[in-house]
Amino acid sequence: MSKTSKQRKLKPVNLKDIIIQMKDTSELMLDLAFSTILFEEDYFAEEVLELEEKMTELCFKAREVVMLASKGIKEVESLSAILQIIQAAEKVSNAAVEMATIELRDIGLPKAFFKTMHLIEETITSLVVPENSTVVGKRLDYIEKETGMQIITMKRNGQWLIKPDGKITLKAGDRLIAKGPFEALSNFEVLIMGKHVMMPSISELMEPESQRKIREMLVEMMNLSQLSVDLAYSSTIFYNKEIADEVLKVEERMDRMQEAVEHEILLFAKVTDNVKLLRGLLRLAWALETIADASVEMANVVLSGVSLHPIFVSAMEESDEVISKIEVKPNSKLDGLTVTECGLQSDMGIQIVTIRKALTGKWEYYPKGDTKIEAGDVLIIKGSKESIDSLINLTTMESAPNESR
Amino acid sequence: MSKVFWNILKESQIPLTLAAAVGVLSGALLEARLEALISLPILLAIIPPLNDMAGDLGTIIVARLTTAFYLGSIEPKLRKNRGLRTNLLSLMLVSTIVILYIGFVLSPIYSVTLDMNGMLFTVLIIVMLAGMMGVFFTLLFGIFLSVLSFKKGYNPDTVVMPMITLIGDFLSIASILFIAKMFGLV
């Protein structure tokens, strides 16, 4: 037996655990890839490459386990649908590798571009805990619960901790990288720093006009790529063809945007000497479009009408980030509040991925703060299991999250 | 061809040897009580259906559990396991229905054809008790072997299935003889 086949000899492992690990790993890879671009940290890029190896191994194991578990035509069909989703998750991770290598291979992006990355819907931020911070001595899970932001990585004494344990207590000088809804960002900053950190405005960046268009399109593509993944998982979890159709629409929009952004980048090439940066932009656009393609592969499972094995939904319920669907009841306290007023994003760290308005029947992606939630609306939400469980309890309670504080 | 042959031989030699040993044990058990069984042919007549049922239910539980372990819908542990308990209870319920069928349909026919009218009620009780006992212990073995094969990474089709069929045979014969002895028949 060769060394490779010995290494790959199947250990007792089950499909549910593999699905959970693959979803969590691909999401972590995306977060780290975005962090690589944002904070110019080679360490994250190397971590992404290591996680890619884990993804390949998990994909291989998934195929082995499915073959061992399959009995009967119906089961084979529903399990092959899971394999298709797993393959799409791996494609997402490959896109993350492409993004990470922009930094690792020193291709780079224009500075003004990544300084405005906080404009994306699911924002990523980095803060260093000051000496006098009130959070010194507090646990990470306390910070997450209070602010709704999720700590992705932490640097202490020069060492990075990926997905640090929630029981770790904070020390002055710790660097935290966290992600969450844009609305939760100011809570996070106020708790850690004692004040809201002012991000540089677009005008302050002295951004050339030719670059502005490209940046705006890429920020939009980032939002859409994240949205397409969330919608794709939602369509499979709820086995909803309507949501799956939305994934296709988002992907078509991504195709058009990629073409447009490539056009703008080529125009920009006429006025810049730094072609290396343009390669970075092209690679980023390509990677983001690949994520949307992978999402379509997931959604196609639902659109093709192939039944999905129940173990998939069971695994989704146990992953780090849970996607859930709630319908606003007429007597619910969410009824009549705006997205900002209900406090889901700012107080609970729950991202509202999309709302289907009862009146129009149309899906509204990443709804703005002034969007009104009304009875009959359907919300697709994403967050930690604890937050989602609290929200489900809340829908039967008498006050919205920010009213109950 | 030769590779396939050696693969089959390598995978199946241990389980088939063990299964053969259990088979020999079952034969020895029957042989030890041969005279009593010849004098009571009704007991011999109920051995095949009960054997078959124990083996079938044993393979069903192994197939169900090994699939569930690979999928992750049931944890591969023996204690405090709701999934295992549910499967065990469901299959016991199925076995009860089959045993009732064997008891109420076949026993009276056998009793008439084998001219043993006087023992109908006793035969019914033996079929039911022995059937339940044989199936119960076969299912327990099936659960144990499924967990073991998953943890050790054995192929359930070539390793566990042959063994559970033979174990089912042995346990159903042992159960019939045990219950018949309780009634003072052997």
What chain B residue is nearest to A78 in terms of C-alpha separation? B71
Chain A residues with CB inside 8 Å of B66's CB? 68-69
ipTM: 0.73
- Domain A15-114+204-312 homologous superfamily, CATH: Phosphate transport system protein phou homolog 2; domain 2 (1.20.58.220)
What stretch of H or E contains A120? Answer: none
Other Cβ atoms closer than 10 A to A305: 8
pLDDT of A198: 56
pLDDT of B11: 74
Residue A99's closest CA among A142, A188, A36?
A36
What chain B residue is nearest to A79 in terms of C-alpha separation? B71
**Structure token pair of residue A116:** 């405005």
Residue A68 and residue B66: Cβ atoms within 8 Å?
yes
- Cα diameter, chain B: 59
**What is the DSSP code string of B89-127?**
HHHHHHHHHHHHHIIIIIHHHHHHHTT-GGGHHHHHHHH
Q: What's the CA gap between A30 and B58, in Å, rounded?
A: 47
Name the one residue in this structure whose structure tokens are 């959970």: A20
Segment B15-63, tens digit of pLDDT: 778 878 888 888 888 888 888 778 777 778 888 888 889 999 999 999 9
Residue B71 and residue A11: Cβ atoms within 8 Å?
no
The residue ranges of chain A whose pLDDT is under 70 are 1-12, 106, 108, 110-121, 197-208, 394-405
Mean predicted lDDT score pLDDT of chain B = 85
Terminal CA-to-CA distance of chain B, rounded, Å? 50
Tell whether B151 is within 8 A of chain A (Cβ).
yes
Chain A residues with CB inside 8 Å of B71's CB? 14-16, 65, 69, 309, 311
pLDDT of B25: 86
A262 in helix, strand or coil? helix
CB pairs under 8 A between A and B: 39
Nearest-CA distance from B23 to chain A in Å? 28
CA dihedral angle for residue B26, residue B31, residue B32, residue B35, rounded to 10 degrees: 140
Could you tell me if B84 and B174 are in contact, meaning their C-beta atoms sit under 8 angstroms apart?
no
Tell whether B72 is within 8 A of chain A (Cβ).
yes
Residue B150 and residue A309: Cβ atoms within 8 Å?
no
Segment B111-145, tens digit of pLDDT: 677 666 567 788 788 888 999 999 999 999 999 99
Residue A69 and residue B70: Cβ atoms within 8 Å?
yes
pLDDT of A1: 40
Could you tell me if A90 and A52 are in contact, meaning their C-beta atoms sit under 8 angstroms apart?
no
Nearest-CA distance from A98 to chain B in Å? 32
A201 in helix, strand or coil? coil
pLDDT of B20: 82
Residue B73 and residue A10: Cβ atoms within 8 Å?
no
Residue A99's closest CA among A289, A283, A259, A292?
A283
**Residues 6 or more apart from B84 whose CB is under 8 A from it?**
B65, B74, B78, B143
Could you tell me if A224 and A230 are in contact, meaning their C-beta atoms sit under 8 angstroms apart?
no
Q: Which architecture characterizes domain A117-193 according to CATH?
A: 2-Layer Sandwich (3.30)
Chain B residues with CB inside 8 Å of A314's CB? 72-73
Nearest-CA distance from B65 to chain A in Å? 10
Give the rounded percent of residues in chain B with a pLDDT score beyond 70: 95
| Reported confidence tier of residue B3, pLDDT bands at 50, 70, 90 | confident
| Reported confidence tier of residue B1, pLDDT bands at 50, 70, 90 | low
**Per-domain residue ranges of chain A:** 15-114+204-312, 117-193, 321-393
Tell whether B97 is within 8 A of chain A (Cβ).
no
pLDDT of A83: 94
Fold of the domain built from segment(s) B3-182: Tetracycline Repressor; domain 2 (1.10.357)
CA dihedral angle for residue A66, residue A67, residue A71, residue A77, rounded to 10 degrees: 60
What chain B residue is nearest to A309 in terms of C-alpha separation? B71
Residue B67 and residue A9: Cβ atoms within 8 Å?
no
Q: Which CATH number fits domain A321-393: 3.30.70.1450, 3.30.750.24, 3.30.465.10, 3.40.50.360?
A: 3.30.70.1450
Compare CB distances from B63 to A15, A71, A315 and report the shortest one's residue.
A71
Nearest-CA distance from A312 to chain B in Å? 9
Could you tell me if A149 and A349 are in contact, meaning their C-beta atoms sit under 8 angstroms apart?
yes
* CA dist list (Å): A363 to A27, A99, A115: 24, 29, 30
Residue B73's closest CA among A7, A251, A206, A14?
A14
Tell whether B71 is within 8 A of chain A (Cβ).
yes
* CA dist list (Å): B136 to A128, A139, B105, B169: 63, 51, 22, 13
Tell whether B73 is within 8 A of chain A (Cβ).
yes
